[in-house]
C-alpha cells in the first residue's frame, strides 16, 4: 500500500476542497492510503530561519518524507495558488538540495465556485512541481467548477456523475503512483 499526502490549499474549515479531499480518501482504492497533511501552522518561508528552523517546518518536512506520493486539492485565488499552499511547497523544498518533494509522484485537483474550475491555479502549481521533480499526472485533468453544487448537506458528493469522475481520477492516480514508484523510485 502506498502512502499519499493530501495537501489542501484552503484553510477554511468547511472548504469545498476539504470536502473533496475527504471524498478522495473515501473513494481511494485499497492500493492507496491517503492522509491529509495540514499546512496552516507553517510560518512563511524565510531563509534566515534555516539555521534554527521553526519546529513546524521540521515536523512538516519529516512528515512529507514518509509519504510515497502527494495529492494537491486546491482552490484558485486570483488565477494562482493560495499563498498557504505556495508556502508549504517552499518550506518543503528547502534547504536547497534537500527537497521533501523530490521524485514523489503527484496529482492536482482544483475546485472553484466558478465555471473554469481553478485552471490557473492548477497550471501554476504544475510549473512549481516540474522544478521540484514531482512527476505530475497528466490525465485525467481535474478542473472542477461550480463547487457549491457538488456536495449534499452532509458534505458528501451529491450525484453519481461527479462521484464517478472522482473515482476514475483517484484510480488513475493509483496507477500513476504505481508506475512512478516502481523499482525504488
pTM of the entire predicted model: 0.96
Structural domains of the chain, with CATH: 2-184 (3.40.50.360)
Cβ-proximal residues to 32 (8 Å cutoff; 6+ apart), any chain: 1, 2, 4, 170, 173, 174, 177
Q: How confident is the model at residue 183 (pLDDT cuts 50, 70, 90)?
A: low
pLDDT of 116 reads 87
Q: How confident is the model at residue 75 (pLDDT cuts 50, 70, 90)?
A: very high
State the Rg of the chain over Cα.
16
Span 101-118, average pLDDT: 94
Span 139-154, average pLDDT: 95
Q: How confident is the model at residue 127 (pLDDT cuts 50, 70, 90)?
A: very high
Outline where DSSP puts E strands in the chain: 2-8, 32-36, 69-74, 106-111, 143-144
As a whole number of angstroms, the distance between CA 167 and CA 52 comes to: 43
pLDDT of 93 reads 98
Whether 101 has a pLDDT exceeding 60, the answer reads yes
Amino acid at each position: 500500500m502506498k502512502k499519499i499526502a493530501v495537501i489542501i490549499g484552503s484553510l477554511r474549515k468547511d472548504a469545498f476542497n476539504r470536502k473533496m479531499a475527504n471524498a478522495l480518501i473515501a473513494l481511494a482504492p485499497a492500493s492507496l492510503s491517503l492522509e491529509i497533511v495540514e499546512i496552516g501552522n507553517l510560518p512563511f518561508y524565510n531563509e534566515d530561519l534555516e539555521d534554527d528552523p521553526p519546529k513546524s517546518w521540521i515536523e512538516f518536512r519529516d512528515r512529507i518524507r514518509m509519504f510515497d506520493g502527494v495529492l494537491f486539492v486546491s482552490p484558485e485565488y486570483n488565477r494562482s495558488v493560495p499563498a498557504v499552499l505556495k508556502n508549504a511547497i517552499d518550506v518543503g523544498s528547502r534547504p536547497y538540495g534537500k527537497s521533501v518533494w523530490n521524485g514523489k509522484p503527484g496529482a492536482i485537483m482544483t475546485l472553484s465556485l466558478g465555471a473554469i474550475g481553478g485552471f490557473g491555479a492548477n497550471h501554476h502549481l504544475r510549473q512549481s512541481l516540474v522544478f521540484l521533480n514531482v512527476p505530475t499526472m497528466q490525465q485525467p485533468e481535474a478542473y472542477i467548477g461550480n463547487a457549491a453544487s457538488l456536495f449534499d448537506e452532509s458534505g458528501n458528493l451529491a450525484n453519481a456523475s461527479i462521484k464517478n469522475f472522482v473515482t476514475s481520477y483517484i484510480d488513475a492516480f493509483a496507477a500513476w503512483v504505481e508506475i512512478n514508484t516502481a523499482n525504488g523510485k
